[in-house]
Chains A and B, each alone.
Chain A
């Protein structure tokens, strides 16, 4: 059974600081996804990582994937309040993928 673990589950940080969220998964996976969810809202796709060593950046967020370590990281640079949300990683398996298996989420709060 594929398991996905994120840490930390809760993160409170000050504006301007840097931090990293970690996502570990238990078995071989072909794709890793990062999503953002605001309270009471649905999920917004942030990144899709397709191969070992993949790195993607959008604004203050950068995601990377190490398939050998079964680890993905979401790095936040110079955090701003607007980044406050819950961040989920998810993995899928198989050449075409199907179901996504999600982590528990990291609830990020950026304080002024």
Chain B
């Protein structure tokens, strides 16, 4: 049983550096989501894809953030010129648009980013 996977699990970087995270969704899922979670808070939506199309972006997603899902399978989230405020857990989720429970989102283990 392969759930949502994310890589790396932990990333420590210096302020100003660029980082890239990868998410591999559950194989038959056509939707993929990125969320950010800071300590003591619930996850906040960043963006989501249906197949390869990016359908919605949050206002939280500044110009320094970019996400892609080039072939409708895995996705990458890049943060340019990282700031200390970017330190958080970045969660990826996937879902199947149709089905018994449409859009039930299954989360990956997350990538914890620390910006020094």
Binding site for B on A (CB under 8 A): 4, 31, 33, 35, 41-45, 48, 50, 88, 90, 92, 96-105
Q: Is B43 an interface residue (CB 8 A)?
A: yes
Residue of A nearest to B41 (CB): A104
Q: Is B103 an interface residue (CB 8 A)?
A: yes
B42 contact from A31, A42, A45, A105, Cβ within 8 A: A105
B103 contact from A41, A88, A96, A104, Cβ within 8 A: A96
Contact with A along B20-39 (1 / 0, CB 8 A): 00000000000001010000
Min CB distance, A21 to chain B, in Å? 13
Binding site for A on B (CB under 8 A): 33, 35, 40-45, 48, 55-56, 58, 91, 97, 101-110
Say whether, besides A98-B48, A102-B42, A42 and B108 are in contact (CB < 8 Å): yes
Say whether, besides A42-B91, A43-B91, A48-B101, A100 and B106 are in contact (CB < 8 Å): no
Of A4, A96, A99, the most chain B CB neighbours within 10 A belong to A99
| A-B interface pairs (CB < 8 A), number | 56
B56: chain A residues within 8 A (beta carbon): 98-99
A4: chain B residues within 8 A (beta carbon): 42
A102 contact from B40, B44, B48, Cβ within 8 A: B44
Question: Are A41 and B41 touching (Cβ within 8 A)?
Answer: no
Besides A31-B103, A43-B107, A100-B43, 5 more A-B contacts (Cβ < 8 Å) are A88-B43, A98-B56, A98-B103, A104-B42, A105-B42
Of B42, B45, B103, the most chain A CB neighbours within 10 A belong to B42
Min CB distance, A56 to chain B, in Å? 11
Say whether, besides A42-B109, A96-B97, A102 and B104 are in contact (CB < 8 Å): no
